[in-house]
Amino acid sequence: MEIFTAIRKDHEKQRLLMKILVETTGNSESRQKYFTELKAELAHHAIAEERHFYSPLMESDNTIEPSRHAIAEHHEIDELVEKLENTDMSSSAWLIHMKSLQELVLHHLDEEEHEFFQQAGKVLTAAQKQKLADEYRHEMEIQES
């Protein structure tokens, strides 16, 4: 498996969790459960992706700028997650912030998949693409354990 496939699989999980979350209402059990899951998914993915995808790509002149951009977006996502954590789940503001988070994350994932992967594909060798996938998946297992 290539690193792009490994990352895409986890992006799909995030998309699904966000799709479910914007359909939840009030301070419900499902809202709590899926938000906890989404927070973990986002946090673990950002760590594994920064360590085993962006970090090696920071070494190339061709991918340093987009890597920085993506990492900056991870911070924006973190801040919005924090805002949600500090908002009462039973208030209407929660869903508004959740929809902003969904918009931001979807933008980020699409940019990674449709722009950054193409640039990274030219910089990484076939062996690196495989190796990074193994490292990325191993890191996700550690984070999730």
- State the residues that interact with Fe ion by CB under 5 A: 49, 112
Smallest distance from Fe ion to CB 67, Å: 10
Contact 63, 120 (CB under 8 A): yes
Tell me the C-alpha distance between 98 and 17, whole Å: 11
Smallest distance from Fe ion to CB 49, Å: 5
Tell me the C-alpha distance between 126 and 133, whole Å: 11
Q: Which is nearer to Fe ion, 15 or 87 (CB)?
A: 15
Contact 104, 78 (CB under 8 A): no
Smallest distance from Fe ion to CB 11, Å: 6
Q: Which is nearer to Fe ion, 41 or 112 (CB)?
A: 112
Q: Which is nearer to Fe ion, 49 or 139 (CB)?
A: 49
